[in-house]
Amino acid sequence: MKFLIPLLSFFLGNAKSFFGGPSQAITQQVVLRVRAITILAICAIGSLALSCVGLSLLIAKIATQLDSPEGFVWTTGTSVYLGMTLLFVGALVITMLRSTWLSSGGFNPQKEAPRKGGSPIENAIALVVMDFLEERQQRRQKNENRSA
Model confidence at 14, pLDDT cuts 50, 70, 90, reads low
Q: What is the pLDDT of residues 56-99, one digit of tens each?
A: 999 998 888 888 788 788 889 889 999 999 999 999 999 888 88
Look at the alpha carbons of 15, 16, 19, 25 in this order and tell me if their dihedral is positive or negative: positive
Model confidence at 100, pLDDT cuts 50, 70, 90, reads confident
Q: In whole numbers, what is the pLDDT of the chain averaged over residues?
A: 80
Of residues 6 and 105, the one with the higher pLDDT is 105
DSSP label of 115: P
DSSP the chain: -TTHHHHHHHHHT-GGGG--STTHHHHHHHHHHHHHHHHHHHHHHHHHHHHHHHHHHHHHHHHHHHHSTT-----HHHHHHHHHHHHHHHHHHHHT-HHHHHHHTT----PPPPPSS--HHHHHHHHHHHHHHHHHHHHHHHHHHHH-
On whether the pTM is more than 0.85, the answer is no
**Distance of alpha carbon 12 from alpha carbon 5, whole angstroms:** 10
